[in-house]
Amino acid sequence: MKTKIFTTIALVCCFMVCFAVVADLNGKWSGSLHAPDGNDYPLKYDFKVDGDKLTGTGESPQGSTPITDGKINGTDFSFTIDVGGVAVKNTGKLYAEADSCGLNIDYNGMLMHATLKRDK
């Protein structure tokens, strides 16, 4: 009997932690991308999670652009954003601390990585 209670409590706690991590992607995030051309580019996103769907916007000095094809599965997420007419594919992982995430960016076959931090 004690084993069943412990197992049930453990499963409920794991579910709550996983749900909290997914929900924690919501909000404003920023970082910078050090590109192969040697320049640093600011990255700003406003993520919105609804179930397994990820939406929101990306911000740049040129304005904002919507996130499209956004998906989230646990701590993994992906989306596409238009940069000057180029569809840029992004895949990411929310880190355990839930205040930062890694972002892999595919810009016309050029693969780059950035770390985003939650805006306070």
For the stretch 39-61, pLDDT in tens is: 999 999 999 999 999 999 999 87
Count of structural domains, the chain? 1
CA 86 → CA 2, 13, 80, 81, distances in Å? 57, 42, 10, 8
20 versus 53: the higher-pLDDT residue is 53
**CATH (domain of 40):** 2.40.128.120
State which residues form the domain around 89: 2-118
**Which residues lie across from 73 on neighbouring strands?**
76
pLDDT at residue 62, as a whole number: 75
pLDDT at residue 47, as a whole number: 97
CA 66 → CA 18, 50, 77, distances in Å? 26, 15, 16
55 versus 96: the higher-pLDDT residue is 55
